[in-house]
Amino acid sequence: MFNTLDGSVILLTYKGKILLITQNNNQLRPTQETWCFISGVKEDSQSFEEAIVRRVANLTHIELPQVELLSRWVYRERKKYFYRAQLTDKDVNNIFRDEWQAIDFFTAQEIGKMQLTNLTKIFMEKHKDLFQELSPIQTPSYSTFS
């Protein structure tokens, strides 16, 4: 049984870039993609950490040995647990993508020009210091949410 109220979100980085995912199975509008961090909900018997590790494995086939909890936050009356992990060359070389799924790495400046989910914008605003470390020039600000 899944707890649909609470969930986890993870920032995956590789060589200073940020992994984002989009699942666009709408063939009529292939250019209107909304990008996001990988997120997931936990099963009753799982911790939030286990849930996000499972979700990353399901979507990418990457087995994360550990993740770092960055913060806990309430968004629209739902608890969100924000995590971070750094990927290795082996992880990146073995990423699996479904045909309806795009997974790619971007700089913070590139992400600032993309259509993002609200939760992704909130994550970036809440942890802008991390994005400043990754890309010190012109880190985007998401203080206004649509």
The answer to whether residue 98 scores a pLDDT higher than 70 is yes
136 — pLDDT class (breaks 50, 70, 90): low
Alpha helices by DSSP H, listed for the chain, are: 48-60, 89-93, 108-111, 118-126, 128-134
The answer to whether residue 28 scores a pLDDT higher than 80 is no
The answer to whether residue 146 scores a pLDDT higher than 50 is no
pTM tops 0.85, yes or no: no
The answer to whether residue 143 scores a pLDDT higher than 80 is no
127 — pLDDT class (breaks 50, 70, 90): confident
Find, among 39, 36, 35, the residue nearest to 7 by Cα: 39
The answer to whether residue 25 scores a pLDDT higher than 90 is no
Find, among 139, 140, 126, 27, the residue nearest to 71 by Cα: 126
Look at the alpha carbons of 48, 50, 53, 55 in this order and tell me if their dihedral is positive or negative: negative
**DSSP secondary structure code for residue 23 in this structure:** E
**pLDDT tens profile 38-78:** 998 888 888 999 999 999 999 999 999 999 999 988 877 88
- The structural domains of the chain, with segments of one domain joined by +, span 2-134
> Alpha-carbon distance 98 to 119, whole Å?
23
Residue 2 CA, chain-centre distance (Å), reads: 19
Residue % of the chain over a pLDDT of 70: 82
CATH classification for the domain delimited by 2-134, as one of 3.40.930.10, 3.50.50.60, 3.90.79.10, 3.20.20.70: 3.90.79.10
Q: Are 12 and 87 in contact (CB under 8 A)?
A: yes
